[in-house]
Amino acid sequence: MKGAGEAAGRPGRRVPKRPLPPLAAGEVRLLAGGNPQIAKGDGEGPVRAWIAAMPGWKRATGAELDALVAATVPGVLRAVRWNRPFYGVPGRGWFLAFGCLERYVKVAFLRGGLLSPPPPVASAKSAVRCLHLFAGDAPDSLAVRDWIRQAAAIEGERLF
């Protein structure tokens, strides 16, 4: 398989990707799959701005997930990092994040391997288990509520 540099006629050399220009205050950019890129931030405001930037049907799914987490975990912490909203519990760390892919919203339980039963989709990180929500799927199910409740109750990730 040829690398990008080989396609340009320089064997073994890769052409570096150009970095995207920095975002201006309040600016939103949609990345691959429609994943919003906004400036990182802590609290409800940045997460709501990220959800508002989700494209099409994914926006309603993101808003429903956010409301479900807030209703299930009183006092939940919110932050936007790595172009995704994260949810955590004070003193216990982060337990959930989600993002947009082309055909679905990916909900990642950061310690999902410890949940019973675990969410259905494996991840590259063995501790993480995921749920894929497609158009028309209802995130507010008994299983999702139970996973959120379990995830918030265990020691989470200390990512930042």
Would you say residue 53 lies in a domain? yes
Number of domains making up the chain? 1
Taking only the tens place, the pLDDT of each residue in 105-138 is 999 999 999 999 999 999 999 899 999 999 999 8
> What is the domain extent for residue 97?
18-153
Average pLDDT of every residue of the chain: 88
pTM of the model: 0.82
Does residue 7 sit within a domain?
no
Average pLDDT over every residue of 69-75:
96
Examine residue 13 and state whether it is found in any structural domain, yes or no.
no
What CATH number is attached to the domain comprising 116?
Answer: 3.90.1150
**4 within a domain of the structure (yes/no):** no
Span between the terminal Cα atoms of the chain, in Å: 37
Residue 32, SS3? helix
| Structure tokens, 48 | 């709501």
Residue 159 lies in a domain: no
In a domain, 1, yes or no: no
The closest of 43, 103, 38, 100 to 70, measured between CA atoms, is 43
pLDDT attached to residue 29: 80
